[in-house]
Structure 1
Amino acid sequence: MGEQFRAETVNDLNFRFFSVAALIKKVKRGIGTEELYREAERKFDTLIELLSDSDIDRALIAGIGYSLDELKEISLLIFNRIISHTSTNPYITLCVSEEASLEEIKRRRNKLLYIFHPDRNPNELTNKTNTMKINEAYSLISNKYYKAGDQFRYVKTRGPRYHSSRKKKTFMFFIILIMFILIFWMVIKSCNLF
């Protein structure tokens, strides 16, 4: 069982690294930013894994045709190119889909900040600007999410449907109250209590 699990894990890693190698070939041939964004979005976790300090088995990478250092260097180049792109779309900067949840967006932002934080590589001048762009993109997206929630809540509690149903309920309450008082008064009058 353990050997089978390890074999599946190794095959998964091989596939992921081969897909990154294919992306690297596209980058070397020349690839547009939009296509690079779509490819990097799908391979985000593998690219981050290459750039993080995790131990990667060099034997797995040997068959790919690139050294581990080359994979790290080109992965960093890919993220630098995506983040430094002058697009006004914050989703491209964070390398995340527009349909992603806020938790997924936050997870990717944190991973990018881990890679590009100025304290991690103080000699890199681009890390400071990349960190600023990552934080700006996240704040734009999170503000959009929170504003959308506020607008929904505003419509739900203060919209015309809310008030019209409240008015109907209040009106019905007064009708029932008046009928109850009239019935009570008629019962008292019929019993000649007054």
Structure 2
Amino acid sequence: MKYEKLYKIIEQLPFDEKVQICEDQNTSIYVIRPSKLSKRFKDYDVNKNFQIYIKEGKREFKPNHLRVMIDLNLRVRSRKDLKLELLKVFDGIFYGENPEKVIKTIENEKFDHYLNSIKITATLSQLFLIEQEYSYNKESKFEPKTLFYQGWIREFIDSPKEIDNLCMSVCSFRPPTAKYTNKENKKSKKYDDSLTELWYIEE
């Protein structure tokens, strides 16, 4: 579904009720807004917090941003010829497109390595973007603040760096390389409001 529609679903989530967002083969994604938060989330707003789960058969777990990033890095390593198309697809999701529609250009392509189906990965990425916009309550150096996440998505697809080094940078809370965000970041001196598609590839 489109970003705005899913955003409204998240806004209206009831407490303690699982709401399925996506299903593909034996895997599904659901969200839940817990009425009570653990000590780890004590600084979160209980009314805006929501949690994302993947269910694979009987196994359920909470994925994090690295799951999407690693999946995409593995895909582009096995299909370098699809790098630009992957960037277009996930930028499309960032700009509000329906993941199930934008993935049609690659959903029948064969990838030797990945973590989940492209439908699950794309929907998960959309949810992480909404999580950044809706739930993140700290001051950000990025405007829109979702650009921090999207910058890393772009870097994991495009960068020749090794996957362990990229993951270490994310886990160290470093921002993505500036070339993937600066001209789109309204808080950057290099902000440009007349960018073309995949503008960061041209540099």
TM class, shorter-chain normalised? under 0.3
| Larger-gyration structure (1/2) | 1
The answer to which structure, 1 or 2, has the higher relative contact order (CA under 8 A, 6+ apart) is 2
Q: What's the TM-score, normalizing by structure 2?
A: 0.27
Structure number having the greater strand percentage:
2
Question: TM-score, normalising length from structure 1?
Answer: 0.28
